[in-house]
Chain A
Amino acid sequence: MDDLFFFIIAKYNYWAAIVLLFIGLFGMIVRNNLMKKIIGMVIFQTAILLFIVSIGAKRGATVPILKFSPDKQPMLDAATYANPLPHVLILTAIVVGVAVLGVALALLQKIQRVHGTIEEDEILEDMRK
């Protein structure tokens, strides 16, 4: 029983990331509405980000900002700070993510203007005419 418990505790973050990844992918493939496809893309993206940040987490560690001892010396035990590298990569990825979202929504508005709809099947019909 304890083994199972520790197994779940050790992996649940990865599982959540994978489940979210496939919810996003499924939404992107199945939904007809292009706005829903974009939301699927956002969920897919955050699932990957969640996975990468999970890799950088450390048990019992604090935020990666150095603490100082009373005599003004930094405390440099690497095991007590979370891994800063995934944080840096994800921080910039989030901002680039919103830029990508902006471009996607701009394309969406353009499609709406040209075809008069954002439903995939109706756009295809309109293009065949």
Chain B
Amino acid sequence: MTWDASLLWQFDILILLMMVICAVTALALEGLLSSAIATGVYSFLICLMWTHMMAVDVAFTEAAVGAAISTVIFLGTAQYISRWIKKDRPKEQGIKQLTLVIAMICAGMMLAATRDLPDWADTASPASTHLSPGYIEQGYFETATPNVVTAVLADYRSYDTMFEVVVVFAAALVVMVLLRHTSHKHRKVLHLRPKREGRDTVLRGAAQSIIPVMQIFALYVLFHGHYSPGGGFQGGVIFGASFILLALCYNLKFSMNRFKEHAVLWCCAGGVLLYAGIGAACLSLGMNFLGYGALADGLGVSVVMARSHGILAVEIGVGITVMAVMVSLYYDLASGGDLEDGL
């Protein structure tokens, strides 16, 4: 057996060690804000790891979702909660030792079981020899999409993706139902917070110049997903992040004046409807649900190109929903549900 020098295993091991350290730090720290930041660092490190394993689409998503949006909603929740937190808690008692022993036994058994797994990065492993060569070898001729990940995501496994989008949509609704409250009992508490009227001139100037670029980049990522890493999920998250940046640099109201809450809700539902509507259109034209080939006659292109256009259309649906859901999650979580004043 040989190993390829270009694999840079030293680099890998360094990143993995740093990830373990970050994970332990995030769990061991007492402060909520510092834990949230450590989790963000952990996300950036795993993002490097994924780039190194050539999963660029995954790394892109992780950088936008895991490192940016997750950290922001963690921070939003932490600052909302830490206003009530008591500082002088007794040291934690518990079942630490017993849990540690059991966890270490289970981990040891799983580590022993890795001997039966194929070697890491083995080109002849079962996972890489059965189904996936088919996608790589035929994907281009069936969908005219060089990015195999996009083709599999939005065409071969489009049912999967559609219901993932539905899950994301449902999560936004759940957060809204859980947090929205109209009683005045809590509002009093919230108004104790000093209104933030600082003059963050540098921050606001920077935001003003970066937000249009972010939005154009988001659209580029969405529409160029056939040829480069990217697609609906990444583009949607980046577009949503531009509104979150606006809210962070000015305040929640400022952002909400530009992207009102009912517009957010319409976008949440609209993206899912667009996705499902394309599926239904294919069904009504006599093909399977989400069989984009049915659109060929209507669009006046070949079946292969119709599948390519179908992928783009559902990616736009995904992008709209994901963008609105990210904004909605931020609005609700950062303000504690009353949409008055956020992080």
Which A residues lie at the B interface, using CB under 8 A?
Answer: 6, 9-16, 18-27, 29-33, 35-36, 39-40, 42-43, 46, 49-50, 53-66, 68, 74, 76, 78-79, 81-92, 94-103, 105-110, 112-113, 116-119
Contacts and interface: CB of A to CB of B under 8 A. Distances in A.
A124 to B, nearest CB: 13
B81 A94 contact: no
Contact of B53 (A6, A21, A53): A53
Nearest to A95: B233
Nearest to A101: B70
Nearest to B38: A39
Contacts of A35: 32, 35, 77-78, 81
Contacts of B61: 91, 94-95
A91 B174 CA distance: 22
Contact of B179 (A40, A54, A106): A106
B39 interface: yes
Contacts of B127: 55-56, 83, 85-86
A82 B20 contact: no
A122 to B, nearest CB: 9
B301 interface: no
Given A106-B174, A107-B178, A78 B19 contact: no
Given A20-B23, A78-B136, A109-B178, 6 more contacts: A12-B9, A30-B94, A46-B66, A88-B153, A94-B61, A98-B69
Interface residues of B, number: 110
Interface string B291-333: 0000000000000000000000000000000100110010011
B132 A78 contact: yes
Q: Main SS of the interface on chain A?
A: helix
Nearest to B30: A33
Interface string B117-128: 111111101011
A66 B39 contact: no
A92 B160 contact: yes
A63 B115 CA distance: 27
Contacts of A46: 42-43, 46, 66
Contact of A84 (B9, B19, B135): B135
A60 B6 contact: yes
B206 to A, nearest CB: 25
A12 B81 contact: no
B157 A88 contact: yes
A108 B81 contact: yes
Nearest to B94: A30
B111 A18 contact: yes
A70 to B, nearest CB: 16
Interface string B34-51: 011001001100100110
B147 to A, nearest CB: 5
Contacts of B73: 98, 101-102, 105
Given A10-B119, A18-B114, A117-B84, A64 B49 contact: no
A6 B207 CA distance: 49
17 contacts: A10-B1, A11-B120, A18-B107, A18-B111, A20-B19, A22-B106, A23-B23, A53-B55, A57-B120, A58-B123, A61-B54, A62-B54, A64-B54, A65-B149, A84-B148, A98-B65, A106-B178
B99 interface: yes
A59 B9 contact: no
A123 B128 CA distance: 48
B17 to A, nearest CB: 8
B13 A11 contact: no
B161 interface: yes
A92 B153 contact: yes
B4 A60 contact: yes
Nearest to A67: B146
A110 B180 CA distance: 10
Nearest to A116: B84
B202 interface: no
Contact of B55 (A11, A90, A92, A100): A90
Contacts of A64: 54, 136, 147-149
B55 A13 contact: no
A91 B233 CA distance: 8
Contacts of B32: 33, 35
Contacts of A107: 178
B252 interface: no
B128 A109 contact: no
